[in-house]
Structure formats: C-alpha cells, structure tokens
Amino acid sequence: MKNTVPFCITKKYCLILLIYYHKNVKKSSLLLLFVQRYNHQTVNHRKAVIRDYERNKECEGKVAERMDEMLLKMSEQNQIAQVMQENEYTGKFGMVLSQEEAAELVSRKRETLREEQRIEFGESILAKLTRAFCDSAYIEPEDYAQTLGRLQEIFYLYKNESMDELTDDELLEFMREKFDEVEGSLDYLEDTVLDEFARKIRRTTRKYIGRYREDHRDV
C-alpha cells in the first residue's frame, strides 16, 4: 500500500514525499529519517556554498577596487610629472607651477572628467594647456594656476558641446586665439564665443577647423 503525504523538512521547505507503508513499521521510519537527514544536509551545503561565493565575490571586488586606486594614483603621478616638466619651457615666459599647484590641477581635472562623463587617454591635456597659454599677454604669473584650472574646465565642457568634432589640438588652438581676442576674459570666452562656436559646429556635424578662419571671423 502507498500514499503521498506532505512532509515539512524545515519551517521554510515542504516536500511531497512518496511513502511506502509496509507491515514492518521500522523500515518506513528509517526511510523517513534518511530523507530528512539528506535534505537537511543539502540545504546546509547550499547555504555554505552561497556564503563562500559571496565572500569570494566581496574579496574580488575589494582587490579590483584597490587595483583601480593604484592605477589612478600612478596615472595622476605621471600627469603631475608631465606638468612639472613643462615648467622648463613655460618658465621662459615667467609661468611656473609648483608641485602642489600641479597636483591640485590634476585633482580638479579628475572631478571635471567625472562631471562631463569623459575618459582621457594618452597625453594629459593639462600639459598641452600650459604650452598653449603660457605666453599669453593676458595671464599674470600669480593667476597662472587658477587660469589653467578654469581653461581646463572650459576645454572639457566644449569637447562635449562640440560633439567631439574637433581634435584636442584644434580646440586648444581656437581657445587660445579667442582668449587673446577677448583679452583674457574667461567668462566671455566660455559663455559667448565658445558657446556660439559649438552651436555652429553642431549644425554642421562635420570637421570644422579649416573653415572657421574663413566664416567665423565675426565671433
């Protein structure tokens, strides 16, 4: 004779077991005892596997996070070194950055890249900025670091606004030209000149430098 009856293993789990009723009651009891023990061990094993997996995943995440921090630190140290090397050239025009100023500019650049949702590869734009603007008659040595920080923010803003239609060197060239034309007014450069320029680029949706000298003189 046989029947199926519900049998709860734990408070959370309930199985429908096929129970064979024999004249020998002890045999049926042993069968039930075996099933209970087997399922209890399986549940515990599964929990242990999940705990190990979560523990390993957490460790892997921490290792990856530390690696990212190390790579970021190495990258920023390299950028600071690049900027400090430019002092040899920019010093000819009386423009020199201290180690602390260079580190602050690199830190600001990291924040700006995050805000503009950009990733930078290759040579740091900060080193290029120092060369592009160090000989401007509209930058004073005492304002050099602060001006570079603002120009750096404007650069990344308009890389986005111009839909990356310009190369880095093209945008720097245009920024420097207009910076001198507006006599070093960063607000006017950002809010008027570059804004209008970016609007025109978005309308053309193709490489723009090479044409702007002919049809953008009125900006």
**For position 100, what pLDDT does the model report?**
94
16 assigned to some structural domain? no
**For position 162, what pLDDT does the model report?**
83
Chain mean pLDDT for the chain: 75
- Range among 28-32, 177-181, 198-202 with highest mean pLDDT value: 177-181
| Dihedral of the alpha carbons of 9, 14, 15, 17, in degrees to the nearest 10 | 70
Provide the β-strand partners of residue 30: none
Integer Rg of the chain from CA: 34
35 assigned to some structural domain? no
Please count the structural domains in the chain.
1
**For position 117, what pLDDT does the model report?**
82
* Cβ partners under 8 Å of residue 131, min gap 6: 86, 89, 90
Is the CB of residue 155 less than 8 Å from the CB of residue 171?
yes
28 assigned to some structural domain? no
67 assigned to some structural domain? yes
58 assigned to some structural domain? yes
pLDDT tens digit string along 98-139?
Answer: 999 999 999 998 888 888 888 776 678 899 999 999 999 999
39 assigned to some structural domain? no
Can you give the pTM of this predicted structure?
0.62
